[in-house]
Structure 1
Amino acid sequence: MALSRMIRISNLCFKENILVQKHSSKIKNVRNFRKDRNINEVPKVNPDSLATPFSKTHIDPGKLRVGNLVKPFLFTVGFSGACFLGASIWEYENMRGHAKRMLKKPMKFFKRQVDSGYTSTNAILKELKIWWSGLTEGERVFAPICALNILVFFAWRVPRFQPTMLRYFCSNPASQNICIPMVLSTFSHYSGLHLLANMYVLHSFSTGAVHSLGKEQFLGLYMAAGVVSSFTSYMYKIITKQPGLSLGASGAIMAILGYVCTQYPDTRLGIIFLPVFTFSAGAAIKFIVGLDTAGVLLGWKFFDHAAHLGGAACGIFWALWGNQYIWQNRGPVLQYWHHLRGSIK
């Protein structure tokens, strides 16, 4: 499969690791500075202008207990299994729907006449249909994922929604809501640059990954890897006693990147601002994994490197073993579902 046409990387995707103490200390320093100096000498800096939704969030390190990992672990196993089970059933239903359409082919001409009469009265729907039909299969999967991420990004801008966003759209191993955020944080970005970088990388690799996996298996891997990466982040934060909130799609995106780079290691990749400088996909994933490993061992705190490693490991595993030994052996599940659905009529 030729992937060189669709792959260009401008920035490595990243998952924000927000240390709430850091933001709080900034605001405290500004307020102390205002008190200690004469009011005429103080720069006109409004402390509230430095505030973010995370500034008032306090996480007690004492709540980071190993026992807190039991529930997320069970959720990760159950959710990942449900993702691939749902992907298998979705694939079956798509095949079943295609078979039904083929059986009803004599009625296709009449239906087309009715549809054309409807779409001709609505130019916008017609244009959308033409645009959608011109997309590749990978772009059709990417578009709704990107739309969800943009919707959540704008939800962060509504002050009324921010308490809910903090509760459900940031993963935090010390939170009372510990499982649902493992999924929802995968679609959550507070920084516009963070969102842009992640969506660019996902768009670059989605076409090749969907072509290789199919849209059903691709989405199953994407969703499962997002939860696996959140669980990996939980483990790291609890072991190192480092409280913090994490959000972003990069754990799931790292799984797609890991899969493509492992499945097609000889594919040439490039940096968009340095088109003459290219490197193999195999070398790229080794460098990224090495960088995130260094970040974990050295305690770098700007990115959630543990989440990156969890996502990359998920994608590499699926390329080496998962697709062959798990997905290809889903026959009993499909047979059981077919028995429940009955014959095509």
Structure 2
Amino acid sequence: MFSRSLLTSYRSPSISHLRPFSCSTLALLQPGRSHPSASSTPPPPSAPSPPPPSNRTAFARITPLRVPASQALPSTPPPEQIVVEEIYEDPYDALPKRNLLKPFLFSTIFIAFIYIAAAERTNEESQLWADKLGWNALWRRTTPSQGEMMAAQQFELKKDLQHQLDSVNATLTATLPASLAQPLLQGYLAVAEFWLNSSEPTKLACMIVGVNTVVLGAWKLGRWNGRMAKWWMHNPASGRQVTLLTSVFSHQELWHFGFNMVALWSFLPMGYAFLILGDRQALSTYPGLTESTAIYHLGAFYLTAGILSSLLSHTIFNIFQLPRLLRAITSPTNPILTPSALSSLARKHNAVPSLGASGAIYAVFFLGAMSYPDAQVGIIFLPFLTMPIKFAAGAMMLLDVVGIWRAWKGFNHVAHLGGALFGIGYWRYGCEMWDWLRMKLARKPTPPPSTTGPRLLGL
């Protein structure tokens, strides 16, 4: 895909020093004749042909008027004889250039928006459930705890699902025979029970897997591969910034999709446990902030990890790999670059589009590894072999460092390493940033650090 984008606009530099054939206005070309501008002196006029012999007496002799051939031609020649001047652009103008500012601005604006929206929504829901539990009532001496809020949400969800089940049951019974209504009702009941009994990270994982499944299906249809490659793969030379985000939800191959989604399903609860429980209280300046849910925080973390890992890969490409690729393309040893040759050259310099959720999943994995370093993890093909997650994390990071140093192909090691570094950094500073943002959005003065237990915003 990368090579195709270069090929459509690039002309070999070996002919850039040649001036293409052109004329200032219109050139009149006739078969069998040279161009009028090919010779500075016009050809001598040919001798008049003798009149045909005749037995009749000539009454008078008519001498034809001789005019130049250019004046004898019609003023507007036929269309097939018109050669329009072709304007050639400089081949070097068509080559991709470094693109660093726009991706950085796009990523910064998106991350700021998603975190502000997540923090605002968390504040609203936390305040809503605190009001429902009567936190300002006279009989309550303490604010509702996080556990009380989450238990109240679970009870409310159960009531809503029961109400929906009764409504669906009435509708199916009235419109369908029992042989069809009963299986549909059982299926709806199974889904409702799964959703009720699932934790928040499992619900978020279901949403992410659902989006990735739809994108994978679009790839497998085949009819939209051109558009999918344009909008769901990140090509650092394309100039499209939105693919920094959309490529995080895109997988072309089933094995790639399966590995990433299994890892997401396995480690997302560990990251969630840190954000809402774990040792995050000891790492924040505001340890007493109460929140009824961490699903918005976790969603913002996942999206930010994905886009930052893509941005790091994009930046490394533009700073290091793109100049080497351009030098190879403009080298005198490559006078003619066919599509296959240009594609091979791009793969040689690892200048290919990227896609996949690996960067975001690395961030989730390393956040959990920093929070619970002694947790045991198994290998997907050898589940009977387990090891502490801190050793697995170290081995994965070492593998990506070697992959970058040795320029291994097949995986985006830069994006993997970027996700890992983001997860490590977020373990130390992310929760403090999150609590500070929640305090600012509450439009209340930020209180000094407190260790007197949970409190709501503004108290």
Under a length normalisation based on structure 2, what TM-score does the superposition of the two structures give?
0.55
8 Å contact from structure 2 (residues 123, 438) kept in 1: no
Matched residue SS, 1:156: helix
| 1:132 paired to 2:195 | yes
Q: Which residue of 1 aligns with 2:251?
A: 189
Matched residue SS, 2:443: helix
User: How many Å apart are 1:278 and its aligned residue?
Assistant: 2.2
| 1:171 paired to 2:279 | no
**Structure 1 counterpart of 2:271, from 194, 206, 209:** 209
| 1:328 paired to 2:435 | yes
- Aligned-partner residue type, residue 65 of structure 1: K
Q: 1:276 to 1:129 in 2, by over 3 A?
A: closer
8 Å contact from structure 1 (residues 64, 173) kept in 2: no
**Structure 2 counterpart of 1:72, from 103, 106, 124:** 103
Mapping of residues 92-107 of structure 1, within 5 Å: 92-99=123-130, 102=133
Distance 1:298 1:280 in 2: 27
Q: 1:310 to 1:117 in 2, by over 3 A?
A: same
User: How many Å apart are 1:90 and its aligned residue?
Assistant: 2.2
- Aligned-partner residue type, residue 271 of structure 2: A
Mapping of residues 1-345 of structure 1, within 5 Å: 63-66=95-98, 68-99=99-130, 102=133, 115=164, 117-121=166-170, 123=185, 124-177=187-240, 179-213=241-275, 214-238=294-318, 239-241=320-322, 242=349, 243-324=351-432, 326-336=433-443
Q: 1:20 to 1:287 in 2, by over 3 A?
A: farther
Deviations 1:254-284 (A, max 9, x none): 1101111112111122224434432221121
Deviations 1:176-202 (A, max 9, x none): 32x110110000000000000000000
- Kindly name which structure, 1 or 2, has the bigger radius of gyration based on alpha carbons: 2
Mean Cα deviation higher: 128-137 or 91-100: 91-100
User: How many Å apart are 1:99 and its aligned residue?
Assistant: 4.3
Distance 1:260 1:129 in 2: 29
- Aligned-partner residue type, residue 237 of structure 1: F
- Aligned-partner residue type, residue 120 of structure 1: N
User: How many Å apart are 1:211 and its aligned residue?
Assistant: 2.5
Mean Cα deviation higher: 73-82 or 120-129: 120-129
8 Å contact from structure 2 (residues 123, 442) kept in 1: no
Distance 1:136 1:159 in 2: 36
More helix by proportion, 1 or 2?
Answer: 1
8 Å contact from structure 1 (residues 149, 187) kept in 2: yes
Distance 1:110 1:240 in 2: 57
- Aligned-partner residue type, residue 315 of structure 2: M
Root-mean-square deviation (CA, aligned residues, Å) is: 3.0
8 Å contact from structure 1 (residues 72, 231) kept in 2: yes
Gaps of 5+ in 2: 8-91, 135-151, 173-184, 276-293, 323-348, 445-459
User: How many Å apart are 1:336 and its aligned residue?
Assistant: 3.0
Matched residue SS, 1:245: coil
User: How many Å apart are 1:159 and its aligned residue?
Assistant: 3.0
Matched residue SS, 2:230: helix
User: How many Å apart are 1:19 and its aligned residue?
Assistant: 7.2
Distance 1:199 1:113 in 2: 30
Q: 1:307 to 1:62 in 2, by over 3 A?
A: farther
Matched residue SS, 2:206: helix
Distance 2:163 2:247 in 1: 43
- Aligned-partner residue type, residue 226 of structure 1: G
Higher relative CO (CA 8 A, sep ≥ 6), structure 1 or 2? Answer: 1
Deviations 1:298-333 (A, max 9, x none): 111110101111111111110122223x11212433
8 Å contact from structure 2 (residues 305, 359) kept in 1: yes
Matched residue SS, 1:87: helix
- Aligned-partner residue type, residue 314 of structure 2: Y
User: How many Å apart are 1:134 and its aligned residue?
Assistant: 1.9
Matched residue SS, 1:269: strand
Distance 1:110 1:172 in 2: 48
